[in-house]
């Protein structure tokens, strides 16, 4: 999750070019944990051991919890001594997050997926985790960004499995019969919906956007009112739960929301905006223009409500770009085209990108700690953006890798 740039090329048309893909699609079901955490399973080592991981389009490294880390998140642990394909790498690493860090040692081992032969990757074995990270339901991270974002994983996950196109479908509800899923090597027409048109937006190509699924942001509106915005980039990030806005844009959106709703609460210590005595339908639509296409979220898409208390899933950031997390991808089935360096978004009903077609979001009894975890997911993004600049400077003066790799980055 991270950075900035500019350049566009959105066009309406048919679905991504499946005819260009020679590999059969690989479907990885994702657990939808209350619309805030999404994780699937990879197999690591020989014999293969299953690990629940976040598939993160905002990063490119892979790490798992070590057998030496009892306090790490999840229940599964990586133990290289029982894997016949394990190879130690005599280097340590640290990965910094918005609310803490993970640290451990590097290693090589096989990673496998359903119906695909194992591939050998350089990964991290985490021995220490921040307390907040320990509360994650998942056990590790698999980055789906470009190689430029990787700090220690090589080859990247996408390179290792020769993935030139993948798509991410977020189910409307955790109990939906069609689960959330990551699809490698293509898209699933059955997930598109009726009368679908795919809109494509080319990635921003400035140096500061290298490695990110970052696209040009041409407009921001709340209801019928345009919002002045300095941000020129939006990043589609499956490792972030919410919608993240730079401080100025956040303040402008909140002001207009509060005006439309007749008042709301936004404490500095809170990670969310709260409005009382309201319903999904009371909230104005929120629109992001990516490239030349406007994509709208209705109140039911970006607000969680229960007992007439609603919480827009919007957070502030100190970064200069907008982050479109899982909330956005829940509304729009998303394709990530590695070969053509573009993102595709599926719009239903003859291609109108008006949102509001999924069941409304509702709060759950365990929301308090989930929002706590969500804050880690979201705020961690910004650390990486800043870290990329630092990484570039450090790399300019390094003749060779040091024994410890520091990676300011996230999920």
Residues with a known catalytic role? 56, 237
Only one residue has tokens 């019969």, namely 177
| Residues 334/344, Cβ–Cβ less than 8 Å | yes
Tokens of 113: 């997926």
- DSSP β-bridge partners for residue 129: 102
**CA contacts within 13 A on the Cβ side of 143:** 32
CA-to-CA separations, 92 to 107, 122, 202, 408, in angstroms, rounded = 10, 12, 36, 14
Question: Whole-angstrom Cα distance, residue 38 to residue 41?
Answer: 11
Question: Whole-angstrom Cα distance, residue 185 to residue 390?
Answer: 34
CA 296 to chain centre: 19
**CA contacts within 13 A on the Cβ side of 163:** 30
Question: Whole-angstrom Cα distance, residue 41 to residue 44?
Answer: 10
Question: Whole-angstrom Cα distance, residue 167 to residue 159?
Answer: 16
- Dump the DSSP string for 174-208: TT-SS-EEEEETS--GGGT-TT-EEEEEEPP-SGG
Antiparallel, parallel or unpaired: β 37-44 and 49-56: antiparallel
Question: Whole-angstrom Cα distance, residue 301 to residue 286?
Answer: 9
Nearest to 34 by CA among 373, 376, 403, 384: 373
Rg (CA), the chain: 20
Whether the link from the prior residue into 81 is cis, omega within 30° of 0, is no
239's enclosing H/E stretch is: none
């Amino acid at each position: 999750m991270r950075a900035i740039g500019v350049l566009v090329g959105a066009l309406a048309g048919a679905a991504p070019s499946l005819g260009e893909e020679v590999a059969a699609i690989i479907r990885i079901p994702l657990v939808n944990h209350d619309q805030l955490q999404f994780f699937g399973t990879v197999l690591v080592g020989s014999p293969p051991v299953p690990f629940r991981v976040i598939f993160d389009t905002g990063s490119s490294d892979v790490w798992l919890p070590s057998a030496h880390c009892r306090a790490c998140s999840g229940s599964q642990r990586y133990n290289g001594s029982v894997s016949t394909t394990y190879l130690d790498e005599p280097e340590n690493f640290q990965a910094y997050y918005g609310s803490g860090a993970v640290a451990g040692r590097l290693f090589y081992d096989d990673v496998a997926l359903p119906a695909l032969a194992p591939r050998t990757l350089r990964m991290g074995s985490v021995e220490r985790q921040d307390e907040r990270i320990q509360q994650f339901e998942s056990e590790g991270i698999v980055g789906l960004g470009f190689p430029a974002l990787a700090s220690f994983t090589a080859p990247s996950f996408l390179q290792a499995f020769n993935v030139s196109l993948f798509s991410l479908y977020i189910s409307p509800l955790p109990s939906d019969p069609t689960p959330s899923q990551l699809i490698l090597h293509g898209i699933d027409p059955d997930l598109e919906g009726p009368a679908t048109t795919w809109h494509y937006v080319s990635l921003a190509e400035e140096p500061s956007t290298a490695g990110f699924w970052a696209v040009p942001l041409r407009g921001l509106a709340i209801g019928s009112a345009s919002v002045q915005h300095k941000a020129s980039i939006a990043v589609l990030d499956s490792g972030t739960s919410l919608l993240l806005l730079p401080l100025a844009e956040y303040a402008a959106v909140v002001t207009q929301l509060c005006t439309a709703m007749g008042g709301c609460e936004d404490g500095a210590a809170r990670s969310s905006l709260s409005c009382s005595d309201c319903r999904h339908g009371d909230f104005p639509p929120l629109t992001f223009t990516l490239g030349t296409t406007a994509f709208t979220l209705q109140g039911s898409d970006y607000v969680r409500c229960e007992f007439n208390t609603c919480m827009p899933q919007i957070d502030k950031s100190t970064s200069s770009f907008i982050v479109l997390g899982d909330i956005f991808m829940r509304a729009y089935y998303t394709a990530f085209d590695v070969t053509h360096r573009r993102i595709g978004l599926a719009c239903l009903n003859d291609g109108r990108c008006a949102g509001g077609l999924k069941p409304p979001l509702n709060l759950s009894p365990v929301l308090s700690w989930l929002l706590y975890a969500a804050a880690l997911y979201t705020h961690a993004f910004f650390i990486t953006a800043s870290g990329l600049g630092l990484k570039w400077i450090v790399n300019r003066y390094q003749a060779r890798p040091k024994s410890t790799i520091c990676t300011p980055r996230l999920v």
